[in-house]
Amino acid sequence: MPEVTPQQHALFEEQGHVVIGPILPPADVARLRQAFEAQAAAWAAEIDTPLDDYLAVVSQWTNVWEHNPVFREQLYHQRAAAIAAELIGCQRVRVFHDHLIVKPPHGGSTVPWHRDLPNWPVAEPRAVSCWLALDDVTAESGAMRFMPGGHREPVTRSIDFLNEAKVWGERERDAVPVAVPAGSAVFHHCLSWHTSPPNSTAGWRRAYITIYLDATCTYDPTRAAWHPMAGRVSVPAGATFNEDVFPTLGPGLSAAHLATLRGGAA
Ligand SMILES: O=C(O)CCC(=O)C(=O)O
């Protein structure tokens, strides 16, 4: 049964992003929030730092699924993977990596305008990110803004955040904040331009992001060789990614295969 309605599909094609949800019930969202709190406390303890000090400085964690069974289970969320596959238009998806991006109360920084694909060693523009809100995310708390239709513009090189910035001029006003209720997700195309402001509210803004590639996407070492995941690729240029680090999942997968991939999940 399709997970994405024709209207949602049309919006994604036109704008490059679409909010879908809820994809998780409140109890599962609460479980992920608790898992984040416990995992952050463990990471802070590992470097002998009080949690508040740690969270005042660290705001992003990659490959959380490799460290935490609750996030590992979320990574294999069948509905999120099915939505991603339908939006990309592929039979099976592969996880490139996950990450948690957190903006603390009255904190966090601006994520400058960028597109994702130029920052990944992936050849084909056949990927989406599932940005799952763990809190109700509003314009004030740091919701992302997307440039509608920007994903249809030609591939560009990555932006050096320290020395340059994307300037839109009049067009900037087309990019409105995309609020996402807790448990819902905004799916965005890998060539969609996006940005987010700091959090100016008293609450947290936490998002768990899974990057899904079409499982047939291939490794391009000439693009973003500096990306941390590039060091974990063990296949030659032009090949599909290694399953141990970049697992496939989604429609078409047999239950037995899924059970194997989920080994170690809670
Ligand atoms: O969480 C944010 O504010 C930015 C996220 C982002 O850039 C992304 O998911 O590609």
For residue 81, the domain's CATH number is 2.60.120.620
Alpha-carbon distances of 233 from 70, 251, 260, 262, rounded to whole Å = 25, 24, 21, 20
What pLDDT is recorded for position 1? Answer: 67
Backbone angles phi, psi at 31, to 5 degrees: -65, -40
Half-sphere exposure at residue 169, Cβ-oriented, CA atoms within 13 angstroms: 1
Q: Cα 235–236–242 angle (5° rounding)?
A: 15
Does residue 138 sit within a domain?
Answer: yes
pLDDT value of residue 259: 52
Average pLDDT over residues 93-122: 97
When the pLDDT of each residue in the chain is averaged and rounded to a whole number, the result is 93
Quick one: pLDDT band at residue 17, thresholds 50, 70, 90?
Answer: very high
Residue 201 has what pLDDT?
Answer: 98
116 lines ligand 1 (CB under 6 A): yes
Q: Does residue 156 belong to any structural domain of this protein? A: yes
Residue 266 lies in a domain: no
Cβ–Cβ under 8 Å, residues 115 and 150 = yes
Pocket flag, ligand 1, residue 209 (CB < 6 Å): yes
Q: Which atom of ligand 1 is nearest to the CA of 209?
A: 9
- Please tell me the total count of domains within the chain: 1
Whether 1 is in a domain gets the answer no
Local confidence band at 251 (pLDDT 50, 70, 90 cut-offs): low
Contact 129, 88 (CB under 8 A): no
pLDDT of res. 121: 97
- What six digits make up the tokens of 66? 């490799």
Q: What is the pLDDT of residue 254?
A: 47
Look at residue 136 and tell me if it is in a domain.
yes
List the domain range (segments joined by +) for residue 127: 6-261
Ligand 1 lined by 141 (C-beta under 6 Å)? no
